[in-house]
Amino acid sequence: MFKLTELNRRKKIFSGLCAVIVPFFLTAILAVSSVFAAGQQNWPEAPETLGESVVLMEANTQAVIYEKNPEAKMYPASTTKILTAIVVLENCSLDETVVFTEECCDLEEGAVTIDSVPGEQMRLKDVMYGLLLPSGNDCAMALALHVAGSVSAFVDMMNEKAVEIGALSSHFMNPSGLFHSNHYTTAADMATIARYAFQNSTFLDIISHPNYIIEPTNMNPESRVLINTHEMITPGNPDYDNHVIGGKTGYLYESGRCLVTYAEKDGITLLCVILDGSYYGIFTETEELLQFGWNNFKIINASEEERRFSYADETAKVQLDSSNQILMLNNVPFYELTSKINYAYYLDEKEYAEAKLEAGIENGDPRQLYAWIDYYYGGHYLGKCNVFVNPDLHPPTASFIKVVYVNIWLIILVIVVVAVLVILLVHLAKKSAANEGRLSAWEHRKSGRKQTRYYSRSDSIDLREQYIKSGHKDKESIHGLSNLGVPYSRKDQTVGPIHPQRSTAADSHLSGSSGSSSGSRPSGSNGGSGGMRTRSGAGTRPQGSTDRSSNRAVGVRTGSSQRNTGARAQGSQSPSRSTSGTTGRSSK
């Protein structure tokens, strides 16, 4: 029973400690995780958009500020013409003459055109404006035939260019964007294509015009006014924003409304792509996303902020590219960014040539690309900084200084967690040790009781007499006989405790001694007579009676001890009875 109770108690203690430790420990883990994931949690929340696939990117750093289903395959509609324009501009001159054919003008019903006719001749520049401002599909066909000789050949050039600039999840089937089930892209790929296109000054100049006039041609004596379908660049339009440079619209029933926008403010150049967006609200959503980017981010020069990159001596001349900028959140210090260094000597010849070109190192530049540093905040890429060396000097031994930026609140949190856990574990260890000690003591006492033999009544009385004669007169000491091996066992009605004031006379009488016991019993005590009265009818045994009869007498004595206690408490009030009669009956 004790083991079961002790086990339950220990289980309760353990359960209680677990109820305290486990939640606290989990809370601490979450708190520490939240500190390490501060970048993710502190990233500002973008406004809601109805667009199915959305990307908001800082164009110069390629840092993505917001994205929604960026890898979903979508139909791009007329935003396809951004890639068409790039292929044309990289393969032709603006002064070339483009001839419209029957194939160019024979399009499906509802397709947007600039009202060209077969045999009409225009400057390639005029056709490019017709392609990008009103989104003329006849212009796309005419340019494709002019550049490649056939639409299919031009489409192959488009797909090759898409792969070259990193739009690996796209596939195009025509230069105009008219619907085809195998003509698709993603918002991430469209942002990559648009970013590449916006680096072309001619392309950027064309899309920035709110309108354009095509002079009379050989087939049309009148001028044609082209209106840019991107409403955010047209002054007087409700959606006008003077920070918007340009972009491209698109719409098909199958694709929904699409919009690509390029804008710049306070040194932050934003590129916003929305595919399958709200027909009436796509310009408003674009404006909200642009404001979100400008209000929460800024551009900094990484070379001015970076202090962890060093070189062995002044002659090594390891330099950080002063032209590299990275995107930063407002009110976030530079040291909270994480960085990764990439060494250029791991690249093969082709990769190194491309990396040098991207870093702005042209032929004849004495600098060599040594490495570049990528910067992140909460898992979000923010930009990079190139590291240059001069090959005319001795080989550099540049490396990152091993500096650890300490977050004091994180250290305090870890210290508190460890301290509390140590205190709880020490408390648990002390509790366990105390429980083990009590359990050992209990087992020791239990084993002692098992090894104690049961004495006969006469032996018990002899031991009690010796114990009393040794000077232990108090009741507690007599009860302490159990510690000497005289147990109070209920088995065979073993003797119980005897009152010290009359134990001598009672034990002497019950052991078979002759003579009256009145001399040894104090006057006024009637407790003994009450006990002997129950034996009045059977006291005729001779002096030499056996231990068995004596044991029975002791048993009577033991059984009446509780009743005699009450009689002793009233000894001064009850009339004393003569003990001679009792003695005489016992002697007979």
The two structure tokens encoding residue 76: 């791009």
Residue for token pair 């050949």: 153
DSSP string, 82-122: HHHHHHHHTT--TT-EEE--HHHH---TT-------TT-EE
The H-or-E segment that residue 194 falls in is helix 187-198
What single-letter DSSP state applies at residue 183?
-
Residue for token pair 């660049």: 233
Closest of 32, 42, 44 to residue 407, by C-alpha: 32
Closest of 524, 521, 506, 522 to residue 586, by C-alpha: 506
**What values do phi and psi take at 343, rounded to 5?**
-90, 135
Residue for token pair 């009590």: 438
**What values do phi and psi take at 75, rounded to 5?**
-85, 120
Strands (E), 100-190: 121-123
| Angle, CA of 27, 29 and 34, to the nearest 5° | 95
The residue count for the chain: 588
Catalytic machinery residues:
78, 81, 135
Q: Which residues make beta-bridge pairs with 54?
A: 68, 274
Closest of 193, 180, 182, 290 to residue 248, by C-alpha: 193
Q: What is the dihedral sign for C-alpha 8, 14, 18, 21?
A: positive
The H-or-E segment that residue 389 falls in is strand 380-389
Closest of 275, 327, 296, 381 to residue 49, by C-alpha: 275
- Compute the distance between CA of residue 189 and CA of residue 163 in angstroms, rounded to an integer: 10
Q: Which residues have CB under 8 Å from 355's CB, separation 6+? A: 344, 347, 369, 372
> Strand, coil or helix: what is 21?
helix
Closest of 290, 325, 294 to residue 56, by C-alpha: 290
Q: Which residues have CB under 8 Å from 541's CB, separation 6+? A: 549
Neighbour count for residue 283 (Cβ, 10 Å): 24
| Angle, CA of 505, 506 and 508, to the nearest 5° | 65
User: CB-side exposure of 78: number of CA atoms within 13 Å?
Assistant: 26
- Compute the distance between CA of residue 85 and CA of residue 132 in angstroms, rounded to an integer: 8
